[in-house]
Chain A
Amino acid sequence: MTRALSAITNRLVILVPYLWLLFFFLIPFVIVFKISLSTTAIAMPPYTPVLGLADGFSGLMSQIGEFSFDNYLWLTQDALYFNAYVSSVVIAAISTFLALLVGYPIAYGMARAPATIRPTLLMLVILPFWTSFLIRVYAWIGILKPEGLLNQMLLGTGIIDQPLVILNTHTAIFIGIVYSYLPFMILPLYSALEKMDYSLIEAAQDLGCPPISAFWKITFPLSLPGVIAGCLLVFIPAVGEFVIPDLLGGSQTLMIGKTLWNEFFANRDWPVSSAVAVILLLLLVVPIMFFQQAQARAQEEGR
């Protein structure tokens, strides 16, 4: 009796979240792909349906004949989309590199801190993550504006005599992404650096290795899993970022998340925005798979 019951609960533990994710995460992608093959229509929903099962199998086959790759053709014809994809990847890559540059010394400092204050430092890194993403991006508008706090400070101290134009440039986007995603970079770096055996460094130095080359020969290679995890955690979401380029980058910035948003909300073109999403997903499939493998490996090690 209890055995049968426990077999059922075992099944349910797996089945419930499995079915939920299947229905609300995987199937929606199939629908996105399907709609990216349909044509725009002035109706609600604004596309002609493809692959309805209402007409039975023969209807299905004739509908497959009506699949249209026009939306994808359209993406290749208008240079706007290609440029948006390229500039998203470039902006995300530069921001990821900058985040690594800023995050590494912080993570290293934390890992070498006295063990008693490490939990507090960790808490302080995580805390900003709990405050709203939107609020943190919004806070930078007041700082970076031409008449904002940064310019007031620099003008007041006489370092510059003309206000710097930062808001609505790529620099503002870099600052926004580095700032918003910094905890994602620091945490995996910290957990890699904290595990490291620092007597290795001492041994290297005793043998006459200068500190900088000891860093590149020992510390950095050993922290590489953290570097990879951190970079993926920043890069992947940054490519599709919408809020930061929209609020800090101004109207001239091309990023694919923004293009998708405008295509959907301003042009109300659902099939084209679906096609944009499919291409973006294809672009990110390889990094996402890397990320999953890293996660799975970390899980195996923790076991």
Chain B
Amino acid sequence: MNASWSRFNITAIVLGFAFLYLPIVLLVIFSFNESKLVTVWGGFSTKWYVSLFNNQGLMDAAWVTIRVGLVSATLATVLGTLAALALTRYTRFRGRVLFSGMVFAPLVMPEVITGLSLLLLFVAVGLDRGFFTLTLAHITFSMCFVAVVVQSRLVTFDRSLEEAAMDLGAPPVKTFFQITLPVILPAIISGWMLAFTLSIDDLVISSFTSGPGATTLPMKIYSQVRLGVTPEINAACTILIGIVAIGVIAASLVNKRREVQRLRDEQAAQRG
């Protein structure tokens, strides 16, 4: 094993991870910079965080972003899970090719196209642009990511469990909630988190589909970045990174605990 994991492999991994993480680490470090220049270290300070929380515009945008994220991630998870079920459980129905195309295409569709087309739809049906249209747009692109995540779990799911439950007289809906759902729940949770992150992160589609009064944090950050790099933005970014990191680490700990529990249960079952 050690011979095959050679020095070359280790070097590749170390360099690769340095490339992936160094820019983010530098960004976080310079958010604590005393100096207004982002690239010259002037001593440790948290003043940019203070000024961030006093920036009403930025705080309003953060609030809009979080609300859109929560609502759209939840609905996208429901729709995406349904789409995943439809794709894995029903191998034959009219228009299945079109359906799988519509699930996979948004994953790679350039955002400018999705954004423009959704905007033109909202204008055509006469919806006022704002919080509502923003949420609809976010649901649409993130549900496809949820579908892919949940589908990958469903493919490996042991259908005989469901069949056993139904043979014992459980109705399909009850079978779904008592057998299927608990098994695919980790995938659904990571799907929700992915949808939430995609939503709070999105700039392009949001810029097309939101209207006055519904500015999101990325839109605000983008307009400030165009004027120049400031430590305040670094501070805002650091907080966002912190929230996401805590969420991801918490989720992986929960997953690990479930895994350990499952192994213990299996061992107990074998002994008993």
Using CB atoms and an 8 Å cutoff, list the residues of chain A in contact with chain B: 2, 5-6, 9-10, 12-14, 16-18, 20-22, 24-29, 31-32, 35, 45, 102-103, 105-106, 108-110, 112-114, 121, 123-125, 127-128, 130-136, 138-143, 145, 147-149, 152, 179, 182-183, 186, 198, 232-233, 236-237, 239-243, 247, 257, 260-261, 264-265, 270, 273-274, 277, 280-281, 284, 288, 291-292, 295-296, 299, 302-303
Q: How far is it, in angstroms, between the C-alpha of A137 and the C-alpha of B5 when the chains are bound?
A: 32
Do most interface residues of chain A lie in helix, strand or loop, or is the interface mixed? helix
B171 at the interface (CB under 8 A from A): yes
Decide: B116 and A274 in contact? CB cutoff 8 A: yes
Decide: A136 and B17 in contact? CB cutoff 8 A: no
In the complex with contacts A109-B13, A257-B110, A302-B152, A138-B237 CB distance below 8 A:
yes
Q: How far is it, in angstroms, between the C-alpha of A240 and the C-alpha of B10 when the chains are bound?
A: 35
Sorted from nearest, which 9 A-B pairs have the closest CB atoms? A240-B110, A28-B117, A109-B9, A105-B12, A106-B16, A17-B83, A139-B23, A21-B102, A236-B108
Contact partner, A14, options B4, B6, B86, B171, Cβ 8 Å:
B86
Decide: A149 and B39 in contact? CB cutoff 8 A: yes
Decide: A35 and B79 in contact? CB cutoff 8 A: no
Residues of A within 8 A of B113 (CB): 32, 240, 260, 277, 280-281
Q: How far is it, in angstroms, between the C-alpha of A24 and the C-alpha of B122 when the chains are bound?
A: 9
Q: How far is it, in angstroms, between the C-alpha of A35 and the C-alpha of B123 when the chains are bound?
A: 11
Decide: B171 and A2 in contact? CB cutoff 8 A: yes
Residues of A within 8 A of B38 (CB): 142
B136 at the interface (CB under 8 A from A): yes
Segment 3-32 of B: residues with Cβ below 8 Å from A: 4-6, 8-10, 12-13, 16-17, 19-21, 23-24, 26-27, 30
Q: How far is it, in angstroms, between the C-alpha of A100 and the C-alpha of B79 when the chains are bound?
A: 34
How distant is A171 from chain B, measured CB to nearest CB, in Å?
A: 15
Instruction: Give me 14 other A-B pairs in contact (C-beta within 8 A), A25-B106, A105-B16, A237-B111 excluded.
Output: A9-B172, A14-B82, A17-B99, A18-B95, A21-B83, A113-B5, A123-B252, A130-B245, A134-B201, A134-B225, A239-B110, A270-B120, A274-B116, A299-B151
B155 at the interface (CB under 8 A from A): yes
Contact partner, B13, options A113, A123, A149, Cβ 8 Å:
A113
Contact partner, A243, options B93, B99, B117, B204, Cβ 8 Å:
B204
Contact partner, B12, options A25, A108, A257, Cβ 8 Å:
A108
How distant is B204 from chain A, measured CB to nearest CB, in Å?
A: 6
Residues of B within 8 A of A186 (CB): 16
Residues of A within 8 A of B120 (CB): 28, 31-32, 35, 270, 274
Residues of B within 8 A of A22 (CB): 102
Q: How far is it, in angstroms, between the C-alpha of A274 and the C-alpha of B89 when the chains are bound?
A: 37
How distant is A240 from chain B, measured CB to nearest CB, in Å?
A: 2
Residues of A within 8 A of B171 (CB): 2, 5-6
Decide: B27 and A135 in contact? CB cutoff 8 A: yes
Q: How large is the interface on B (under 10, 10 to 19, 20 to 34, 35 or more residues)?
A: 35 or more
Residue of B nearest to A152 (CB): B39
Decide: A102 and B26 in contact? CB cutoff 8 A: no
In the complex with contacts A241-B110, A295-B104, A303-B155 CB distance below 8 A:
yes
In the complex with contacts A109-B9, A128-B24, A134-B222, A18-B116 CB distance below 8 A:
no
Decide: B24 and A131 in contact? CB cutoff 8 A: yes
17 contacts between A and B (CB under 8 A): A25-B106, A108-B9, A109-B5, A112-B4, A113-B9, A124-B20, A127-B248, A133-B203, A134-B221, A134-B222, A138-B233, A141-B229, A142-B26, A149-B26, A243-B222, A296-B100, A296-B104
Residues of A within 8 A of B43 (CB): none
Residue of A nearest to B16 (CB): A106
B263 at the interface (CB under 8 A from A): no
Please indicate which of the listed interface residues A17, A28, A147, A247 has the most CB atoms of chain B within 10 Å of its own CB.
A17
In the complex with contacts A18-B86, A143-B23, A9-B112 CB distance below 8 A:
no
Decide: A257 and B112 in contact? CB cutoff 8 A: yes
In the complex with contacts A133-B201, A142-B30, A142-B229, A24-B173 CB distance below 8 A:
no
Decide: A106 and B140 in contact? CB cutoff 8 A: no
B124 at the interface (CB under 8 A from A): yes
How distant is A153 from chain B, measured CB to nearest CB, in Å?
A: 11
Decide: A242 and B104 in contact? CB cutoff 8 A: no
Contact partner, B85, options A5, A13, A133, A198, Cβ 8 Å:
A13
Residues of A within 8 A of B155 (CB): 299, 302-303
Decide: A32 and B102 in contact? CB cutoff 8 A: no
How distant is A250 from chain B, measured CB to nearest CB, in Å?
A: 12
Residue of B nearest to A132 (CB): B201
Residues of B within 8 A of A143 (CB): 23, 26
